[in-house]
């Protein structure tokens, strides 16, 4: 009797354990999911820090837009712009959160079942950082256009702004509740500025909301390649979105690269 009771308790613990969220302990599965063989896919808004909550929506929106144009035979469900958010509405209707469906494949499958899809993609954006660095070393621009059309040398300085983050992406088979993909990808967007030392007051720099929006698009492109490398072009980490249109040289005579 005691051994039977022990086995019953052990079985209950195992069942409860299998239903708990995987969190960051889920096994890595790097083989891309079979998107071409899937009829309907939902992309849930990604988990993000509270201060960058909209970034999770930006990533899922652009990821859905990419796949809708690449895999047209597959039906894609994802939150659109403004108030068109069918996935978020369904998550709330089921009394779930972004965090819960990312951590627990069974919770994600529950959302997928409610939306009548075959596969659900969830994700988390972490290690979000904003970058801002001044380079005080003087640079030279030599030539007739160096300074108001007069031949000579103009002195420049530069500044780099940017944003970076890591995205962890999971795909769950809705019918079985099993994890079929679990991988990570890093993203980084950069903006370079250069100006003559007396002109900084005339420079307009990119702001945080613009950087986060660009980072969301960048991450979506890199995630799309990770999930479907045969049909999506690769976007390299460290995408330079803005650079000066002048050729500058260091004091040692080497050409400055904006990368």
Structure tokens at 200: 């900084």
pLDDT, tens digit, for every residue of 28-50? 999 999 999 999 999 999 999 88
Concatenating the DSSP letter of every residue in 77-136 gives EE--STT--HHHHHHHHTT--HHHHHH-HHHHHHHHHHTT-SEEEEEEEEEEEEEEEEEE
Contact 112, 78 (CB under 8 A): no
Query: What was the pLDDT predicted at 50?
Result: 84
pLDDT, tens digit, for every residue of 118-150? 999 999 999 999 999 999 888 988 754 444 444
Average pLDDT, the chain: 87
pLDDT, tens digit, for every residue of 57-111? 999 999 999 999 999 999 999 999 767 899 999 999 999 999 999 999 999 999 9
Q: Which residue has the higher pLDDT, 5 or 232?
A: 232
Domain ranges of the chain: 24-242
CA of residue 101 relative to chain centroid, distance: 17
CA distances from residue 40 to 31, 35, 77, 208 in whole angstroms, order as listed: 19, 9, 8, 35
Contact 168, 124 (CB under 8 A): yes
Query: What was the pLDDT predicted at 212?
Result: 96
Q: How far apart are CA 162 and CA 206, in angstroms?
A: 9
pLDDT, tens digit, for every residue of 220-255? 999 999 999 999 999 999 999 999 988 899 888 889
- The predicted model gives 188-215 an average pLDDT of 89
Indicate the burial class of 113 (C-beta count within 10 angstroms; 0-12, 13-18, 19 or more): middle
């Amino acid at each position: 009797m005691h051994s039977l009771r022990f086995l019953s308790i052990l079985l209950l613990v195992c069942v409860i354990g299998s239903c708990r969220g995987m969190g960051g302990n889920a096994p890595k599965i790097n083989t891309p999911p079979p998107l071409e063989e899937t009829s309907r896919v939902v992309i849930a808004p990604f988990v993000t820090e509270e201060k960058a909550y909209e970034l999770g929506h930006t990533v899922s929106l652009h990821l859905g837009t990419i796949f809708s144009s690449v895999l047209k035979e597959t039906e894609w469900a994802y939150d659109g712009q403004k108030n068109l958010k069918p996935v978020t509405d369904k998550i709330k209707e089921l009394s779930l959160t972004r965090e819960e469906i990312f951590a627990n494949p069974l919770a994600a499958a529950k959302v997928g079942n409610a939306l009548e899809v075959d596969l659900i993609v969830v994700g988390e954006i972490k290690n979000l950082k904003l970058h801002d660095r001044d380079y005080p070393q003087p640079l030279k621009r030599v030539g007739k256009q160096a300074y108001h059309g007069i031949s000579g040398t103009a002195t420049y300085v530069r500044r780099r702004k940017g944003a970076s983050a890591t995205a962890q992406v999971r795909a769950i088979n809705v019918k079985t509740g099993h994890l079929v993909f679990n991988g990570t990808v890093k993203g980084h967007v950069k903006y370079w500025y250069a100006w003559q030392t007396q002109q900084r007051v005339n420079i307009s720099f990119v702001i945080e909301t613009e950087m986060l929006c660009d980072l969301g698009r960048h991450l979506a492109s890199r995630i799309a390649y990770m999930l479907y490398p045969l049909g999506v072009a690769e976007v390299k980490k460290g995408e330079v979105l803005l650079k000066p249109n002048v050729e500058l040289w260091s004091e040692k005579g080497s050409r400055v690269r904006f990368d």
